[in-house]
Chain A
Amino acid sequence: MLRFVTAGSVDDGKSTLIGRLLHDKELIPSDVLQGLTDLAYLTDGLRDEREQKITIDVAYRYFEIQGRKFILADTPGHEQYTRNMLTGASTADLAVILVDARKGVTSQTRRHTLLCSLLGVPQIVLAVNKMDTVEFQQNVFQRIEQDFYDYADRLKIASIVTIPVSALEGDNIVHKSAHMEWYDGPTLLHHLQHVHLGSLLNQVDFRLAVQCVVRPHQDFRGLAGRVLSGRIRPGQQVTLLPAETTTTIRTILGPGGELDEAVAGQSVLLTLQDEREAARGTMVARTANQPERATRLDVNLCWTDARPLQVHTPYWLLHTSRKIRCQVEHVHYQLDVDSLHRQPAQTLELNQIGRVRLVCSEAVFFDPYDRNRETGSLALVDPQSHHTVAAGMIRGAALDPEKDQRIYPYQASIDRVQREQRQGHLACVLWFTGLSGSGKSTLAQELEKLLFAQNCNTFSLDGDNLRHGLNSDLPFSQAARKENVRRAAEVARLAFEHGHIVLASFISPFAEDRQQARQRIEPGRFLEIFLDCPLEECLRRDPKGLYARAQRGEIPEFTGISSPYEKPQNPELHLPLQPLERSLQQLLDLLKIRHILPPS
Chain B
Amino acid sequence: MANLLEHEAIYYLREAVAQLERPALLFSGGKDSIVLAHLCRQAFLHLPCPLLHVDTGHNFPETLEFRDRFVQEFKARLIVARVQDSIDRGTVHEEAGPRPSRNAAQSVTLLEAVAEHRLDGLLGGARRDEEKARAKERFFSHRDQHGQWRPKEQRPEFWNLVNAFHHPHEHFRVFPLSNWTELDIWRYIQRYQIEVPSLYFARPRRVNSQLLADEQGREELVRFRTIGDMTCTGAIRSRARTVEEILHELETTRASERGTRADDQRSQAAMEDRKRLGYF
Interface residues of chain A: helix, strand, loop or mixed (majority): mixed
Q: Is the CB of A60 within 8 A of B14?
A: no
Given known contacts A46-B151, A56-B152, is B159 in contact with A373 (CB within 8 Å)? Answer: yes
Q: Which residues of A contact B179 (CB under 8 A)?
A: 60, 62, 71
Task: Tell me whether A541 is interfacial, beta carbon within 8 Å.
Answer: no
Q: Is the CB of A388 within 8 A of B155?
A: yes
Task: Tell me whether A577 is interfacial, beta carbon within 8 Å.
Answer: no
Q: Which residues of B contact A468 (CB under 8 A)?
A: none
Q: Which of A44, A87, A211, A381 contacts B14 (CB 8 A)?
A: A211
Q: Which residues of A contact B167 (CB under 8 A)?
A: 386
Task: Tell me whether B135 is interfacial, beta carbon within 8 Å.
Answer: yes
Q: Is the CB of A304 within 8 A of B163?
A: no
Q: Is the CB of A45 within 8 A of B132?
A: yes
Q: Which residues of B contact A255 (CB under 8 A)?
A: 2, 6-7, 10, 39, 42-43
In the bound complex, CA of A162 to CA of B135 (Å): 28
Task: Tell me whether B96 is interfacial, beta carbon within 8 Å.
Answer: no
Q: Is the CB of B165 within 8 A of A211?
A: no
Q: Which of A50, A377, A387 contacts B155 (CB 8 A)?
A: A387
Q: Is the CB of B11 within 8 A of A46?
A: no
The stretch of B105-113, B237-245, B254-262 that contacts the partner chain:
B254-262
Q: Is the CB of B11 within 8 A of A267?
A: yes
Q: Is the CB of B161 within 8 A of A378?
A: yes
Q: Which residues of A contact B17 (CB under 8 A)?
A: 212
In the bound complex, CA of A304 to CA of B154 (Å): 12
In the bound complex, CA of A387 to CA of B158 (Å): 13
Chain A interface extent, by class? 35 or more
Closest to B188 in A: A255
Q: Is the CB of B255 within 8 A of A220?
A: no
Q: Is the CB of B11 within 8 A of A60?
A: no
Shortest C-beta distance, A199 to chain B (Å), equals: 11
In the bound complex, CA of A42 to CA of B268 (Å): 11
Task: Tell me whether A579 is interfacial, beta carbon within 8 Å.
Answer: no
Closest to B152 in A: A56
A-B contacts, CB under 8 A, total? 156
Produce 1/0 per residue, A577-599, CB < 8 A to B. 00000000000000000000000
Given known contacts A216-B44, A386-B165, is B159 in contact with A91 (CB within 8 Å)? Answer: yes
Given known contacts A26-B254, A46-B272, is B158 in contact with A86 (CB within 8 Å)? Answer: yes
Chain B interface extent, by class? 35 or more
Q: Is the CB of A43 within 8 A of B158?
A: no
Within 8 A of A (CB), among B264-280: 268-269, 272-273
Produce 1/0 per residue, B129-149, CB < 8 A to A. 101111110100000000000
Within 8 A of A (CB), among B62-97: none
Q: Which of A26, A28, A84 contacts B156 (CB 8 A)?
A: A84
In the bound complex, CA of A79 to CA of B71 (Å): 49
In the bound complex, CA of A255 to CA of B151 (Å): 33
Q: Is the CB of B163 within 8 A of A386?
A: yes
Given known contacts A29-B255, A304-B156, is B4 in contact with A62 (CB within 8 Å)? Answer: no
Closest to A257 in B: B2
Q: Which residues of B contact A1 (CB under 8 A)?
A: 4
Within 8 A of A (CB), among B154-189: 154-163, 165-167, 178-179, 181, 183
Given known contacts A62-B129, A62-B179, A216-B44, is B18 in contact with A379 (CB within 8 Å)? Answer: no
Q: Which residues of A contact B6 (CB under 8 A)?
A: 255, 267
Shortest C-beta distance, A540 to chain B (Å), equals: 48
Given known contacts A43-B132, A388-B163, is B158 in contact with A30 (CB within 8 Å)? Answer: no
Task: Tell me whether A506 is interfacial, beta carbon within 8 Å.
Answer: no
Task: Tell me whether B220 is interfacial, beta carbon within 8 Å.
Answer: no
Task: Tell me whether A198 is interfacial, beta carbon within 8 Å.
Answer: no
Given known contacts A256-B1, A388-B155, is B163 in contact with A59 (CB within 8 Å)? Answer: no
In the bound complex, CA of A491 to CA of B73 (Å): 68
Task: Tell me whether B46 is interfacial, beta carbon within 8 Å.
Answer: yes
Given known contacts A30-B254, A31-B255, A48-B152, is B158 in contact with A265 (CB within 8 Å)? Answer: no
Produce 1/0 per residue, B99-127, CB < 8 A to A. 00000000000000000000000000000
Shortest C-beta distance, B220 to chain A (Å), equals: 19
Q: Which residues of A contact B15 (CB under 8 A)?
A: 211, 321
Q: Is the CB of B178 within 8 A of A60?
A: yes
Given known contacts A43-B132, A57-B151, A216-B44, is B166 in contact with A386 (CB within 8 Å)? Answer: yes
In the bound complex, CA of A353 to CA of B11 (Å): 30
Shortest C-beta distance, B30 to chain A (Å), equals: 19
Q: Is the CB of A46 within 8 A of B133?
A: yes
Shortest C-beta distance, A220 to chain B (Å), equals: 7
Closest to B9 in A: A267
Shortest C-beta distance, B184 to chain A (Å), equals: 9
Shortest C-beta distance, B192 to chain A (Å), equals: 8
In the bound complex, CA of A226 to CA of B18 (Å): 14
Q: Which of A57, A64, A214, A373 contacts B45 (CB 8 A)?
A: A214
Given known contacts A87-B156, A304-B156, A373-B159, is B10 in contact with A45 (CB within 8 Å)? Answer: no
Q: Name which of A43, A60, A71, A387 has the most chain B CB atoms within 10 A of its CB.
A: A60
Q: Is the CB of B135 within 8 A of A212?
A: no
Task: Tell me whether B31 is interfacial, beta carbon within 8 Å.
Answer: no
Task: Tell me whether B128 is interfacial, beta carbon within 8 Å.
Answer: yes
Q: Is the CB of A381 within 8 A of B165?
A: yes
Shortest C-beta distance, A441 to chain B (Å), equals: 43
Q: Which residues of B contact A412 (CB under 8 A)?
A: none
Q: Which of B14, B256, B268 contacts A224 (CB 8 A)?
A: B14
Q: Is the CB of B43 within 8 A of A267?
A: yes
Q: Name which of A224, A383, A387 has the most chain B CB atoms within 10 A of its CB.
A: A224
Task: Tell me whether A371 is interfacial, beta carbon within 8 Å.
Answer: no
Q: Which of B46, B181, B259, B272 contacts A62 (CB 8 A)?
A: B181
In the bound complex, CA of A212 to CA of B40 (Å): 13
Q: Is the CB of B11 within 8 A of A211?
A: yes
Q: Which residues of B contact A211 (CB under 8 A)?
A: 11, 14-15, 18
The 7 closest A-B pairs by CB, nearest first: A45-B132, A29-B256, A267-B10, A83-B156, A386-B165, A216-B45, A212-B18
Beyond A26-B254, A280-B18, 5 additional pairs, beta carbon < 8 A: A29-B259, A47-B268, A319-B161, A379-B158, A391-B159
A-B contact pairs, 8 of them (CB 8 A): A56-B151, A59-B132, A60-B128, A61-B129, A226-B7, A256-B2, A267-B8, A387-B155
Chain A interface (Cβ within 8 Å of chain B)? 1, 26, 28-32, 42-48, 50, 56-62, 64, 71, 83-84, 86-87, 90-91, 211-212, 214, 216, 220, 222, 224-226, 254-256, 265-267, 269, 280, 304, 316, 318-319, 321, 373-374, 377-379, 381, 383, 386-388, 391
Chain B interface (Cβ within 8 Å of chain A)? 1-2, 4, 6-8, 10-11, 14-15, 17-18, 39, 42-46, 128-129, 131-136, 138, 151-152, 154-163, 165-167, 178-179, 181, 183, 192, 254-256, 259, 268-269, 272-273
